[in-house]
Amino acid sequence: MNHYSYDPTHTLTDLRDDLLLEIENTPDEQIPQLLQIIRLFRQSQMTNQESRDNWQAAMVQLENSNPIQRKQRQQKLKDLFQSWNELGEEQDQKETWEIIKSSKGVAI
């Protein structure tokens, strides 16, 4: 098995060629699983971006609200985080925390 590490000097074309070579070297019986992995990866990337966009929109809305609305929304966010904490999905919590940490000037 070839353990490939990302080389920033590779062009996108080089990377696509490498990906196609890996696919060609994959046994036929493993192609359905590989396709599923690729689709899940792409879906997770879209979901992560959508989550970041939604978080940013919520923060802008919170910052632009009047003090009473801001307090109410902050309480709703606290309640949301509490319920999220009770779910216990550690990986989801970590991913959400990374999104929160990347937002500047968030006061919850």
pLDDT in tens, 69-102: 878 877 887 887 787 777 666 777 677 777 666 6
pLDDT for residue 101: 65
* C-alpha atoms less than 13 angstroms from C-alpha of 108 in its C-beta half-sphere: 17
Residue 18, number of CB atoms within 10 A of its CB: 14
Q: Is the predicted pLDDT of residue 1 greater than 80, yes or no?
A: no
Residues 37 and 14: their CA atoms lie apart, in Å, by: 21
